[in-house]
Amino acid sequence: MQRLGSQRSIGARAATAVLVLLLALAGCDAGGQTAASGEPRVGGTVTVGVEGEPAGQFNIHSSAADVAASTLRVVFDSLIAQDAKGDFHPWLAKSWEVSPDGLGYTFVLRDDVRFTDGEIFDAAAVKANFDHVVDPKTASQYGAALLGGSAYDRTEVIDAHTVKIVLKQPFAPLLQGLSTTYLGFISPKVLASSADKLAAGGPEVTVGTGPYRLERYVAGQELAFVRNDDYRWGPGNVTNTGAARPERLVLRVLPESAVRAGALTSGEVDIATNLTPSDAAELERQAGFSITATPSPGLPYTLFLNQSHGILGDEDIRLAVLRGINIDAAVAAVYGGKYQRAWSVLGPTTPNAYDPSLEGTWPYDQQLAASLLDKAGWTGRDAEGYRVKDGRRLSLSWLSTAAGGSRENRGALAEAFQADLKKLGVELKLTPVEIGTYLKQLKAGEYDIIDWSFVRPDADILRLHLFSKFAPIQNASYVADPQVDEWVTEAARTTDPKRRAELYGKVQHWAIEHAAMVPVYVSANLIGSSSQVSGLRTDPLGWPWYYDVWTARS
């Protein structure tokens, strides 16, 4: 959940856009499977170039890092699996039932599952794991919240292979949470004997039931996994349910996107993840390589307009910002069609919640923006051409860090918006600060604009970003509206998917109509792969799913 363009012809850009769209559609349909050619080959080694490693983050129950969940997916299985459409499938649980009051979730477990250290996976193992997640000593940064946070009561062992999660109040996002790596299962033996060593990780403690087990971790260099030959319990949404095909899976840490892409072309790695749009476009021009692009679900890259104080307290000014920046032009120029512009505060791939009716409803309109500013009384001009009112300049400050600006080249977008706003007579101050100062100012609400994205395949992300009590983190706009509070609270409690979609539709319209936030673009995890490998899938988050991968290289 937490986490660097080229100039090209219009034709090439359009072709890329079409390709990305096709890939996106394929992703919705088949879970992002790349075309497999021929019979899967057993054996060999698949090498992946990755951006980072989960250093100190191997305890999936306490970590909130994306890199922990994506890297360790092959080691830790979950009760259930979620496909790209948002539907759930059996995994370590054969079936499940939710009580009518939404307070009891009963799971019937498979009876043939073992951890790679020989421990049996049963109801007691599930209880031991969830007890570990909520144990204050674990200091869980994410897992405990996915389990319901204050809504979670306890886990009960019904019989050897039946387990029940009991809630204090209904918590609809629970199933999605249970499908994540953060709520995967660690060997009970490890939990009992060396829970304090979990975070550092290593073959002795990073033990799960997954299709691979950790063989070697060389900090700063690579993670090597070896196949779990006994694996028979793959999730219900994939074709392979037996052991993985390649004997080894090696993740090589190559922090620079250009180096990962280069290593892919030279054959040093078979797959390269997290590529920049320009590196991905470059790879696409070469024969023998393909790009998988899965748009991220959850909150797109968004600008939060702080309405708690100062100029942006005026809704007309916020609307002027929303309509006065040319998002289409900026996103196209910086990402060359690899990332799509956003029209809603939810990404289109967010399951059962995205409202497409917002698309095209708030295009760039400089005249409208100018008239809104006039209407708000900012009619004077100073020597530099900026609007003034009562002797005060129409000036907005954007809080950011240098690292934040270089991520996905977001700083270039900010500069484009700064130029757009200057045409309207609005000054936008961009002064990146050091992370400590950033956090202090964020907590104190000392900013007009702040930006981020938040990947999660559940619309409950809107509750985190709009509920009045969550200001300024994650509600960085300081939205405080009783109606919105009611919508997001009800949506978190109701288990009826139709009602949830209806409520989230209202929230999405509200956020744009009141210009609480400005959604900018939907990023995508751009994964490059060699034609030597097949079966690469992505999970709902767009992260690579290595279980089905096989290689033709011997």
Partner 1 sequence: MTLRWLAGRLAAALLVVWGAVTLAFLVLHLVPGDPVDVMLGPQSAVGEDVRARIRADLGLDQPVLQQYLTHLARLATGDLGTSYRLQRPVFAVVTEQLPATVELGAAALGLAILLAVVVALLARGRLARGVAEALELLAISSPGFWTGLLLLTVFSFQLRWFPVSGGKGIAALVLPTVTLALPIAAILSQLLRHGLDQARRQPFTTSVLARGVGPGRLLGRHLARHASLPVVTLTAYVGGSLLGGTVIVEQLFGRRGVGRVTLEAITNRDIPVVMALVVLAAVVFVVVNLVVDLLYPLLDPRLREAQ
**Residues of this chain that bind partner 1 (CB under 8 A):** 1-2, 55-56, 64, 136-137, 139-142, 145, 197, 199-200, 218-222, 252-256, 258-259, 262-263, 265-268, 403, 434-440, 442-443, 452, 454, 464, 470, 473-474
Least CB distance to partner 1 at residue 199 (A)? 4
HEC sequence for 242-289: CCCCCCEEEEEECCCHHHHHHHHHCCCCCEECCCCHHHHHHHHCCCCE
220/360 with CB nearer partner 1? 220
326/529 with CB nearer partner 1? 529
424/541 with CB nearer partner 1? 541
11/436 with CB nearer partner 1? 436
Give CA–CA dist 109/225, Å, rounded.
26
Give CA–CA dist 434/287, Å, rounded.
43
| Beta-sheet pairing, 45-50 with 271-272 | parallel
403/419 with CB nearer partner 1? 403
Least CB distance to partner 1 at residue 55 (A)? 6
Least CB distance to partner 1 at residue 128 (A)? 21
Half-sphere exposure of 126 (CA within 13 A, CB side): 29
Least CB distance to partner 1 at residue 444 (A)? 11
End-to-end CA distance of the chain: 36
Give CA–CA dist 89/404, Å, rounded.
36
202/380 with CB nearer partner 1? 202
Least CB distance to partner 1 at residue 545 (A)? 23
**Nearby residues of 184 by Cβ (< 8 Å), 6 or more positions away:** 60, 72, 73, 75, 76, 77, 78, 208, 210
HEC sequence for 437-499: HHHHHHHHCCCCEEEEEEECCCCCHHHHHHCHHHCCCCCCCCCCCHHHHHHHHHHHHCCCHHH
Least CB distance to partner 1 at residue 125 (A)? 24
40/54 with CB nearer partner 1? 54
**Nearby residues of 486 by Cβ (< 8 Å), 6 or more positions away:** none
Least CB distance to partner 1 at residue 452 (A)? 6
Name 521's bridge partners: 301, 341
Least CB distance to partner 1 at residue 403 (A)? 7
100/136 with CB nearer partner 1? 136
Give CA–CA dist 121/114, Å, rounded.
5
